[in-house]
Amino acid sequence: MEILKENIHNLENKIVIVTGSNCGIGFEAAKIFANQGAKVVLACRDDERGRNAEELIGNGSKYINLDLTSFKNINNFSKIIKSEFGSIDILLNNAGVMFPPFTKTDEGLELTFAINYIGYFYLTLKLLDLIKNVKNSRIVNVSSIAHYSAKEINFENLNSEQNYDKASTYNLVNLLRVMFTMELEKKLREKEMETIAVACHPGVAKTNLTRHLPGFLKKGFLLNIVFSTFFMSAYEGALPLVIAAAGTNVKGGDFVGIDSKRQMKGSPKITKPNDLVFDDNLRIKLWNNTQEITGLYF
């Protein structure tokens, strides 16, 4: 599987930020952008891993520290981007964790909720002024097929106030990422901004995301066979992200997934998200709630 140049916009000299790009699908997407001539910012939380990715990707890519568990760190990252670049063409919110043990950030947020959802919202709103008036710019949020498993939003347990269940938290934050994208897209159109918001998911790809699974599930010969038979490589999983970020036939509010029935393995295709995403009241309630948590408004 390959990205055909005619299927994506010219990325020469475009400023592209990819969060969580030191490994996995973020790394592969960043490499594709850099190979297409983009100036790629590798927004990663660890200096050593970030610099290593910068060396491997090359092509003028640049590591800048970003840790989505800290509002202070995101503020600092945004200041650096503003002073060094002044504008952004593509913001690809990709960083994420799955099933970490229950932990709270300095802001009192459960880790999955903080990184996979609040961090996306916070970073996007901090960088919005640098992207909203840039022609053909895009804000892309990565989600997962896990979002189809979320059946409701319990606002009383949004931040695991009542209980923390790893799997339902992961399903929920992935739904929130898509709902955030669609509400953002609506607001961008209402305010007649240039940038569009697009959501996507990578199918199922072999990456470090399984790091919090029990040892026997994440290592070994059997898992390699399962992955190569039913799932995809990190490179293949990155392709829906690249299409969402630069595809020529993608428009605001699209959800780029995979062209097979269960959407685990295949080629990028615009698909339909969970029906809850189309509930206007739910999206507005979520947006207002998130504004209160972050103290950021749009």
205: contact with ligand NAP by CB under 6 A: yes
Among 61, 89, 96, 131, binds ligand NAP (CB under 6 A): 96
Window of 79-87, 205-213, 253-261, 266-274 that interacts with ligand NAP by CB under 6 A: 205-213
Q: Which is nearer to ligand NAP, 64 or 134 (CB)?
A: 64
Q: Is 170 an annotated catalytic residue?
A: yes
Residues 235-274 that bind ligand NAP (CB under 6 A): 237
Tell me how far, at minimum, the Cβ of 87 lies from ligand NAP, in Å.
Answer: 22
Q: Which is nearer to ligand NAP, 184 or 204 (CB)?
A: 204
Among 30, 176, 199, 204, binds ligand NAP (CB under 6 A): 204
68: contact with ligand NAP by CB under 6 A: yes
212: contact with ligand NAP by CB under 6 A: no
Among 7, 157, 208, 289, binds ligand NAP (CB under 6 A): 208
Burial of 230 (0-12, 13-18, 19+ CB in 10 A): exposed
290: contact with ligand NAP by CB under 6 A: no
> Which residues are identified as catalytic?
170
Binding site for ligand NAP (CB under 6 A): 19-20, 22-26, 44-46, 49, 66-69, 94-98, 115-116, 142, 144, 201-202, 204-205, 207-209, 237
